[in-house]
Amino acid sequence: MPISPKTFEHDILQKAKSSKQRIVLPEATEERILKAAAILRNQDVVDITLLGNKDAIATKMQQLGVALTDVEIIDPATSPKLNDYAMAYYEARKHKGMTLEQAKKIVIDGTYFGTLMVHLNDADGMVSGSTNTTEHTIRPAFEFIKTKKDVSIVSSVFFMCLETGVLVYGDCAVNPNPTTEQLADIAIASAETASAFGIEPRVAMLSYSTGTSGKGVDVEKVRTATELVRKKAPQLKIEGPIQYDAAVDPSVAKTKMPTSEVAGKATVFIFPDLNSGNITYKAVQRAANAIAVGPVLQGLNKPINDLSRGCSVEDIVNTVAITAIQAGAEKRSHA
C-alpha cells in the first residue's frame, strides 16, 4: 500500500526525533532557514547550529518575529576553531596545491565551515542550498567528506510527495550524463534510500521506449544498465527500459508490459540523465502541487544535503529531518 505524503512527513519527523542529531545550517540570515529552524526546535526534532554574523542573524530574527532558544550560533570568521578547521582543510587538499593561507580564507565560507564541522564530528549533518548553488553546496563534501568505499558515484533523489503516494526520483540534481555503470549504481542506491524511508522499492529505468519496442543508443544504455542492476542486486524488483506512463499507470502497463511486477506500480524512477530528471521533477512539482523533498544525496561518508533555491519552509524542515535520519543510520552502521 502506497505511503501517503502526510504519513511520510510525520514519520520522518518522528524518526529524526527518536535519534537526536545536530544539523548545521550555513545560510542563517535567510528568512526560510530561520522559520524552518524555529519549527524544528519548537518540535524538538533536531539540535541546530546556525552559521553567520551573530548580529546580522539576531537582527533578522527580530524582523521576522522568530524566537530561537537553545540554538548554537557560530560566526566562522571569529570561531576559536577556525585555525583547526583551516589546518584540516589544508591537510586534505595540500596534494592539490592548497596552502595554509588559502585554506584560512576558504574555510570562513559558511558552506566549507559547516562541512568541516560534519567532517570533524562537531555536527552530524549539514543542509544548505536555499541561497547557494548546488555546486557550491556539495563541492566541499566531494573534496574531503568523500564517497563510501563501496560507492562509485555520489547521486541524489527527490521524495515526490503526491496525493497518491510518495515516489522517489533519481538522479535529478548531481550527474549530468551518467555512464551505464553509474546509472546502475544510481538505481541501486536510490532503491536503498527508498527502503530506508519505508518505501518498497520497485524500480523503473526510464526511457522513451518500453521493453523491446524501440531502438537507439539511449535505449540500449538503459537496457544495459538494467541488466547490470539485475546482476548486482538480483533481489531488486526492476524494469527497463520503460516509459513513464507504463511505469506509473496500471492500465497502460496492462497493455505494454502485462507480466511485469514493476510496470504500473513503480515507486523508484531512474532518469537516464540530469536534463530529463530535473525537468520532470520540477514539472511534476508545479503541475501536481507536489512537495519535492530533496535533493537527498546518496553515497557520501556523512550526510550533506542540498536544497533547491526555490525551496519552501516545509521543504527545509523535511530535508533537515531526513539528514538527521541519515546521520543516525550512519552512526548505527559504525557502532
Spans of the chain below 70 pLDDT: 1-2, 334-335
> Which residues lie closer than 8 Å to 253 by C-beta, 6 or more apart?
246, 247, 260, 263, 264, 265
Is residue 130 domain-shared with residue 226, that is, in the same domain? no
104 and 199 housed in the same domain:
no
Residues 187 and 265 grouped into a single domain: yes
- 203 and 110 assigned to the same domain: no
CA triple 80-115-195, angle to 5 deg? 145
**96, 119, 140, 186, 197 from 191: Cα distances, Å:** 35, 26, 26, 9, 10
Asked whether the beta carbons of 50 and 30 are under 8 A apart, the reply is no
- Check whether residue 1 and residue 140 sit in a common domain: yes
pLDDT in tens, 31-78: 999 999 999 999 999 999 999 999 999 999 999 998 887 899 999 999
Amino acid, res. 251: S
My answer on whether 258 and 304 are in the same domain is: no
At 215 the pLDDT is 79
Distance of alpha carbon 171 from alpha carbon 161, whole angstroms? 16
The domain that holds 323 is classified in CATH as 3.40.50.10950
CB 43 within 8 A of CB 13: yes
Q: Are strands 237-242 and 72-74 parallel, antiparallel or unpaired?
A: unpaired
Q: What is the pLDDT of residue 163?
A: 84
Question: Do 285 and 249 share a structural domain?
Answer: yes
What lies within 8 Å, CB to CB, of 271 at 6+ separation is 169, 170, 171, 172, 206, 277, 280
pLDDT at 147: 86
CATH code, domain carrying 272: 3.40.50.10750
| Residue at 162: amino acid letter | L
For residue 53 the three cell numbers come to: 554574523
Based on the structure, what is the number of domains in the chain?
2
User: Closest by alpha carbon to 48, among 25, 29, 31, 67?
Assistant: 25
Q: What backbone torsions phi and psi does residue 215 show, to the nearest 5 degrees?
A: -130, 165
324 and 250 in a single domain? The answer is no
pLDDT of residue 2: 66
Domain residues for the domain of 115 are: 1-146+300-335
Please check whether residues 136 and 46 belong to one and the same domain: yes
pLDDT of residue 190: 94
**Do both 56 and 117 map to the same domain?**
yes
Q: Do residues 117 and 183 share a domain?
A: no
What pLDDT is recorded for position 70?
84
Residue 202 grid coordinates: 520497485
If asked whether residues 215 and 83 sit together in one domain, one would say no
pLDDT digits (tens, 9 = 90+) for 202-228: 999 999 999 877 778 889 999 999 999
Query: pTM here?
Result: 0.83
Alpha-carbon torsion (225, 238, 271, 172), positive or negative: negative
CB 33 within 8 A of CB 114: no
Strands of the sheet with 155-162, listed across from one edge? 237-242, 202-206, 268-270, 165-170, 155-162, 291-298
C-alpha cell at 1: 500500500
